[in-house]
């Protein structure tokens, strides 16, 4: 019997995951960049925030790794939606509302984040539906089932 090919899943990458993948090439965040069955999306907001943090907190050589990882993603550019942003602010802290709104707007299957406190709760899950917010480790487990 022929093996059915799984559809490629889209994953919106939060800045916490991109930063961690830049800093640690052997961790779960970096492993996401090796999985061929997913398409990684980032937004200009995520890129700007992550690059600023890499420059401020890591070594110069990390910049090259950051840009290599960015080259493995698709940049999601959408018309800014102020109403969606305002709605997102009802579900999450204002500082994270842009990322939540962009993840929703991207229509990704998953939002991957390391920010358990703010993103991995019932309120955010309700807002993102049908997308699911997960940690890199949980997403990898989900994909290998």
Tens-place pLDDT, residues 136-145: 999 999 988 6
pLDDT tens for 82-119 read 999 999 999 999 999 999 999 999 999 999 999 999 99
Q: How confident is the model at residue 6 (pLDDT cuts 50, 70, 90)?
A: low
Report pLDDT for 114.
98
Could you tell me the sign of the dihedral formed by the alpha carbons of 106, 107, 111, 116, in that order?
positive
Q: Give the chain's mean pLDDT.
A: 93
Identify any residues that bridge with 10 across adjacent strands, giving them in sequence order.
Answer: 39
pLDDT tens for 109-129 read 999 999 999 999 999 999 999
Spell out the CATH class of 9-140.
alpha beta
Give pTM, 2 decimals: 0.92
Residue 24 corresponds to which tokens in the numbers above? 């640690």
Q: Is the pLDDT of residue 2 over 80?
A: no
Q: Is residue 55 within 8 Å of 27, Cβ to Cβ?
A: no
Phi-psi region of 107 (alpha: psi -120 to 50; beta: other; left: phi over 0): left
pLDDT tens for 26-72 read 999 999 999 999 999 999 999 999 999 999 999 999 999 999 999 99
């Amino acid at each position: 019997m022929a093996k059915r090919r799984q559809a490629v899943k889209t994953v919106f990458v939060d800045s916490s995951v991109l930063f961690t993948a830049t800093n640690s090439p052997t961790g779960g965040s970096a492993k996401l960049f090796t999985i061929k069955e997913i398409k990684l999306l980032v937004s200009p907001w995520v890129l700007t925030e992550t690059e600023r943090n890499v420059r401020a907190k890591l070594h110069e050589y990390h910049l090259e790794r950051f840009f290599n990882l960015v080259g493995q993603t698709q940049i999601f550019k959408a018309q800014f939606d102020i109403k969606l942003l305002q709605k997102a602010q009802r579900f999450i802290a204002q500082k994270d509302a842009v990322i939540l709104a962009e993840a929703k707007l991207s229509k990704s299957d998953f939002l991957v984040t390391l920010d358990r406190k703010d993103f991995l709760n019932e309120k955010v899950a309700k807002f993102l539906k049908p997308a699911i917010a997960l940690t890199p480790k949980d997403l990898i487990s989900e994909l290998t089932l």
